Amino acid sequence: MIDKNCIFCKIISGEIPSQKVYEDEKMLVFKDIEPKAKVHLLAIAKDHFKLLSDMDESRAELVKYMLLKIPAIAKENGCEKGYRLVINQGEDAGQTVFHLHIHILGGEILPW
């Protein structure tokens, strides 16, 4: 499913440009526009759902798929010595884009 008002769906369709580092039929990984670490990538599924709490069995399969792919993608993009994955859930966490995404942060020693 695609949401025509969602900026990450627009990135998937190419309507909004992005610096893609990995793409396949199920997921896309691109550089965060305001990096909070030397390496800051965003992994998204090519299926629009807003929140981690909107998870169901098929969406969980997509998240599992992404988690299986992320180690190699992170390694190839400057996170050989480790990285941090973050999913912000909702307002208190500061979620600003409501299309589930996994932040991949690394390329340096990360402050907590």
**Total site size for ligand AMP, rule CB under 6 A:** 12
- By a kind-dependent CB cut-off of 5 to 8 A, residue 27 interacts, out of Zn ion, ligand AMP, none, with none
DSSP characters over the chain: ---TT-HHHHHHHTSS---EEEE-SSEEEEE-SS-SSSEEEEEEESS----GGG--HHHHHHHHHHHHHHHHHHHHTT-TT-EEEE---SGGGT--S-S-EEEEEESSPPP-
Query: Least distance (Å) from Zn ion to the CB of residue 73?
Result: 20
Is position 101 annotated as part of the catalytic site?
yes
- By a kind-dependent CB cut-off of 5 to 8 A, residue 48 interacts, out of Zn ion, ligand AMP, none, with Zn ion
Cβ distance to ligand AMP smaller for residue 9 or 62: 9
Exactly one of 32, 47, 69, 78 binds ligand AMP (CB under 6 A); that residue is: 32
Q: Which residues are catalytic?
A: 101
